[in-house]
């Protein structure tokens, strides 16, 4: 099975992940950006524990958005409620990695609901 590189900005941390090892932890979808971040010491807020309802795990996909699972309608609803959302916004707990990708963790995330 191929391995993927996930880069987190602004920390400048790149980790190589093996999908055969998903899930790494108990927060977010198995193999999600949040799952990978927490397993590699990258701080991403996750107030709801990774079940996709709080919006605090908001990240911006800065490269290779096609390497993530497509967002569900429920995820898009939560993203729409995040004041600083953009067309590149995803919930780290719901976006499952399926290729090399770079995400930026905003300096301040806030509960959307
Ligand atoms: Fe709450 Fe992702 S951790 S929406």
* 89 CA from centroid of ligand 1 (Å): 13
In the prediction, which pLDDT does 112 show?
A: 43
In the prediction, which pLDDT does 1 show?
A: 74
* 109: confidence class by pLDDT, cuts 50, 70, 90: low
Pairing outcome for strands 101-104 and 4-9: parallel
Helix (H, G, I), strand (E, B) or coil at 76: helix
Structure tokens at 57: 């795990």
CA-based diameter of the chain, in Å? Answer: 38
- What's the mean per-residue pLDDT of the chain? 93
Q: Which domains does the chain have, with CATH numbers?
A: 4-104 (3.10.20.30)
> Does pLDDT of 113 surpass 60?
no
* β strands within 1-112, DSSP E: 4-9, 13-17, 58-63, 89-91, 101-104
Residues framing ligand 1 (Cβ under 6 A)? 46-48, 50, 52-57, 78, 91, 93
Mean pLDDT within 61-88: 95
Q: What is the pTM of this model?
A: 0.93
């Amino acid at each position: 099975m191929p391995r993927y590189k996930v880069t987190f900005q602004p920390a400048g941390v790149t980790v190589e992940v093996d999908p055969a090892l998903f899930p790494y932890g108990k927060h977010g979808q198995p193999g999600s950006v949040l799952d990978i971040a927490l397993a590699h010491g990258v701080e991403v807020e996750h107030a709801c524990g990774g079940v996709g309802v709080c919006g605090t795990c908001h990240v911006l996909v800065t490269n290779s958005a096609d390497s993530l699972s497509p967002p569900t309608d429920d995820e898009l609803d939560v993203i729409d409620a995040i004041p600083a959302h953009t067309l590149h916004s995803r919930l780290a707990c719901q976006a499952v990695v399926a290729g090399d990708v770079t995400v930026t963790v905003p300096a301040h995330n806030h509960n959307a609901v």
